[in-house]
Amino acid sequence: MRCRTVQIALIGILVAQALSPAIAQARRVSRPRAHKPAQKQKQPEPPPLPCGDYLSFQVLLDRQGFSPGEIDGKPGDNFTHAIIALQQARQVPLTMQPDCDTWHALGGDSARDLLTTYAIAPADVEGPFEERIPPNLVEQAKLPALGYRSPLERLAERFHASPALLQQLNRGAALVAGKEIKVPAVTPFDPDAKPAATAADAGDVAIQVSREESALRVTRADGSPVFFAPVTTGSQHDPLPPGNWTVVGVQWHPPFHYNPNLFWDAKPQDTKATIKPGPNNPVGVVWISLSLEHYGIHGTPEPGHVGHTESHGCVRLTNWDAARVASLVKRGTPVVFK
């Protein structure tokens, strides 16, 4: 199915703020997979870095507008793309590696509080949670909402982290109200609050989505970067359509209208269905509509898959990165797919 086949009913909520620097991987809305942890063989630990460590690099990149996607404390494509974007923007030798020059450019030696303590609030654990979200879209439509599946998932997304990292940082800790846990020291993500652009990010911006880089960049008129983030941008069946487009609107907490006639991989028995809003909705917490009919930039229920899997054509980011981009765009913001 192509993203242009995803019929999102826009409410017409426009965000009239300037875009912040973002390179986001762009790919279309993908058919959600079963919500089960991937069965992976344990990988050997990477060798230590000459300066800093992977987790510290990821936190600093995230805080400075070069999103590594889901923070997991490990090397990977999204991390490397963020390193390259930082090196290019700060005129650091382009080694494509987390070396000491890059660590110093991030202010790693003087950075404080790369991890912080967070006291779990009652709302973090009270729910309601959707413990079992079926992979079938028609079945998903029967749920009252597409909320988080667990307190762990909610807290991990709040701090841009993988659930596995949060567990690693807090071995054996019970996730209960009042408990203090260690988390990455990043701007917390709240799926119910629209983030505001900072004064430094204000002004006219443009978005560029690169299929080759699996990345999205937000730049100012002079070309300087505002935000960079990994994205998923389509597939062999639904490639990203190159061209120049504009933002026409933003919808927060959108429903997802599933039409199996428009999905190349739909099951014969599938019927039309409307899936309720929520962070685990197929398009996440926000839909940025474009002048290219039925195409958009949006969030995802699977942040760990961004940049690593295919989509049905639209540009997909983690929910926290999509929310940041949405807070920076306005009607008429130029968007280039290449």
Contact indicator for 224, 311 with CB cutoff of 8 Å: no
The predicted pLDDT at position 236 comes to 67
| Residue-range domain boundaries for the chain | 3-35+194-337, 54-105, 115-184
Tens of pLDDT along 113-152? 999 999 999 999 998 999 999 999 999 999 999 999 999 9
Distances (CA, A) of 131 to 1, 137, 148: 27, 16, 8
How far is it, in rounded angstroms, from Cα 297 to Cα 335?
Answer: 10
Contact indicator for 6, 29 with CB cutoff of 8 Å: yes
Contact indicator for 36, 302 with CB cutoff of 8 Å: no
Query: Which of 308, 217, 312, 207 is CA-nearest to residue 250?
Result: 207
How far is it, in rounded angstroms, from Cα 220 to Cα 225?
Answer: 6
Tens of pLDDT along 48-76? 999 999 999 999 999 999 999 999 999 99
Sequence letter at residue 298 = H
Contact indicator for 311, 3 with CB cutoff of 8 Å: yes
Would you identify the CATH topology of the domain 3-35+194-337?
A: L,D-transpeptidase catalytic domain-like (2.40.440)
User: Using N-to-C axis directions, what is the helix angle for 77-90 and 54-63, rounded to 10°?
Assistant: 60
Confidence class for position 240, pLDDT limits 50, 70, 90: confident
Tens of pLDDT along 246-262? 999 999 999 999 877 76
| Beta pairing partners, 239 | none
Q: What angle do CA 38, 70, 60 make, to 5 degrees?
A: 150
The predicted pLDDT at position 266 comes to 73
How large is the C-alpha radius of gyration of the chain? Answer: 19
Sequence letter at residue 146 = L
Tens of pLDDT along 108-124? 999 989 999 999 999 99
Contact indicator for 293, 211 with CB cutoff of 8 Å: no
Peptide bond before 32: cis, by omega within 30 degrees of 0? no
